[in-house]
Amino acid sequence: MRPFAYARAQSADAAIAAMAQDARAAFLAGGTNIVDLIKLDVAQPGTLIDIGALPLAAIEVATDGSVRIGALARMSDTADHTAVRSGAPCVAMALNLSASAQLRNMASIGGNVLQRTRCVYFRDVTQPCNKRQPGSGCSAIGGDDRKMAIFGANDRCIAVNPSDFSVAMLTTDATIHLRGPAGERTTPFLGFQRLPDDPALDTNIVRGELITAISFMPTALTRNSTYLKVRDRASYEFALVSVAAALDVRNGTIHDARVALGGVAHAPWRARAAEAALIGKPAVRATFAAAADAELRAAKPQRLNGFKVVMAKNAMVRALGTLGGAA
Ligand SMILES: Cc1cc2nc3c(=O)[nH]c(=O)nc-3n(C[C@H](O)[C@H](O)[C@H](O)COP(=O)(O)OP(=O)(O)OC[C@H]3O[C@@H](n4cnc5c(N)ncnc54)[C@H](O)[C@@H]3O)c2cc1C
Ligand code: SF4
């Protein structure tokens, strides 16, 4: 491990100012991702700015009914919170299906959204990787691509985003709250995580910005949601494919729908073709199967992961079935 300086910020402004003083500085929240990457020599911060003392861990319900999750809220506390469990059950489910109990007690929501890909070549500094070293090539292309993307990839990067929470948040039209050198701003959750047009950039965060919170408004749609995760083993493992689904069913007809897939793209994948195929249709298995087919028609699997197309279809039908009562 390379030497680095450590500083504990006492305020958001101090944390942001400290970032401006070192071009290689990075924030430290729970440390469950960045410390791994430092040990692997993938991340080489000059200064680690510990934001753990900032008052950003609260989960609150605002007067308008929206739920605001502080960026430093632990994954476990978020999964356990009544407002999250009732307002967007799929979010609590996605968190409880993530990592392990010990990690969930340490890791923060902001860090979860910003965690980096688990691509084995990205984490191995002896291998070319356009994300770690722009222009060096992509070792996954023609290599072990079993866990890689089936949507939105290109000839520069075929990695997938590992965050379960982020997939579930796409069912809620959530907002990310940021504070940086230029002040405060908000941005939609959808689109914050990027496709690999520039593989070095995982998100649209501006250097030096701090995520302060993530908020969403519970609705009839978000309250009827579920999360299904398919993985190589039942615990302590990232998704091969996951599905977050939300349905608003009225008198047997789908009034509104949100579907997102994980483990399939460089960013959580909003399944818009599936949503279009669901809305206005009866909430029955044939509708769910047609919606899954509509979405997966555009999939472009890699050499070793054609199975993800079938897996994603089956997972979508099963997840939607549990919501629509036609499993
Ligand atoms: C063995 C293992 C299994 C795992 N399995 C899963 C899984 O199944 N599903 C899943 O979703 N995740 C999984 N994870 C990932 C885990 O959830 C993340 O490591 C964790 O959420 C990161 O949060 P953290 O607070 O520890 O972030 P840190 O490691 O402290 O930070 C991560 C990154 O975010 C930046 N950062 C953190 N907070 C902020 C902020 N507020 N504003 C700006 N920048 C910030 C840091 O600078 C760093 O770049 C697993 C991790 C491990 C080690
Ligand atoms: S898939 Fe992306 S992260 Fe993995 S080696 Fe290729 S460029 Fe790097």
Closest ligand to C-alpha of residue 39 is 1
Ligand 2 atom, smallest distance to 141 CA: 6
Report the residue count for the chain. 327
Closest ligand to C-alpha of residue 167 is 1
Percent of the chain with pLDDT strictly greater than 70: 99
Percent of the chain with pLDDT strictly greater than 90: 98
User: How many whole angstroms separate alpha carbon 231 and alpha carbon 299?
Assistant: 19
Which tokens belong to 95? 């968190």
Evaluate if residue 327 carries a pLDDT over 50: no
User: How many whole angstroms separate alpha carbon 184 and alpha carbon 193?
Assistant: 19
The set of protein residues with a Cβ atom below 6 angstroms from ligand 1 is: 26-34, 36, 71, 75, 98-99, 103, 107-108, 110-112, 114-115, 162-165, 210-211, 236, 238
Tell me which of 16, 103, 177, 230 to substitute to probe ligand 1's pocket, judged by most ligand atoms within 8 Å of the beta carbon. 103
Q: Please report the pLDDT score of residue 8 as a whole number.
A: 98
Fold of the 5-50 domain: 3.30.43
Q: Residue 160: CB within 6 Å of ligand 2?
A: no
Q: pLDDT grade, residue 324 (50/70/90)?
A: confident
Structure confidence by residue, pLDDT tens digits, 186-200: 999 999 999 999 999
Q: Residue 119: CB within 6 Å of ligand 2?
A: yes
- Cα(32) to ligand 1 centroid in Å equals 6
Which tokens belong to 213? 């919170």
Average pLDDT score over the chain: 97
Edge-to-edge, what's the strand order for the sheet holding 5-8? 5-8, 47-50, 26-28
Structure confidence by residue, pLDDT tens digits, 221-271: 999 999 999 999 988 899 999 999 999 999 999 999 999 999 999 999 999
Residues 18-43 have a mean pLDDT of: 97
Residues 27-53 have a mean pLDDT of: 98
Residues 58-67 have a mean pLDDT of: 98
Q: pLDDT grade, residue 326 (50/70/90)?
A: very low
- Cα(282) to ligand 1 centroid in Å equals 39
Q: Scan for tokens 């030497």, then name that residue.
A: 3
Residues 98-107 have a mean pLDDT of: 97
Report the alpha-carbon angle 76-201-106, nearest 5. Answer: 15
Evaluate if residue 202 carries a pLDDT over 50: yes
Q: What is the DSSP string of 182-226?
A: TEEEEEESTTTB--TTSTT--B-PPTT-EEEEEEE---HHHHSEE
Which tokens belong to 248? 């608003």
From the list 69, 223, 255, 93, the residue with the least C-alpha distance to 167 is: 93
Ligand 2 atom, smallest distance to 148 CA: 1
Q: Scan for tokens 């949100």, then name that residue.
A: 258
Amino acid present at 313: K
- Cα(170) to ligand 1 centroid in Å equals 18
Residues 30-36 have a mean pLDDT of: 98
Residues 44-48 have a mean pLDDT of: 98
99 phi and psi angles, rounded to 5 deg: 50, -135
Q: Specify whether domain 222-324 bears CATH 3.30.1650.10.
A: no
Q: Residue 42: CB within 6 Å of ligand 2?
A: no
Residues 166-194 have a mean pLDDT of: 98
Domains in the chain: boundaries: 5-50, 222-324
Q: Residue 241: count other Cβ atoms within 10 Å of its Cβ.
A: 25
Q: Residue 149: CB within 6 Å of ligand 2?
A: no
Q: pLDDT grade, residue 1 (50/70/90)?
A: confident
Instruction: Measure CA 205 to chain center.
Output: 14
User: How many whole angstroms separate alpha carbon 199 and alpha carbon 93?
Assistant: 29
Evaluate if residue 61 carries a pLDDT over 90: yes
Q: pLDDT grade, residue 325 (50/70/90)?
A: low
Tell me which of 8, 19, 22, 33 to substitute to probe ligand 1's pocket, judged by most ligand atoms within 8 Å of the beta carbon. 33
- Cα(229) to ligand 1 centroid in Å equals 18
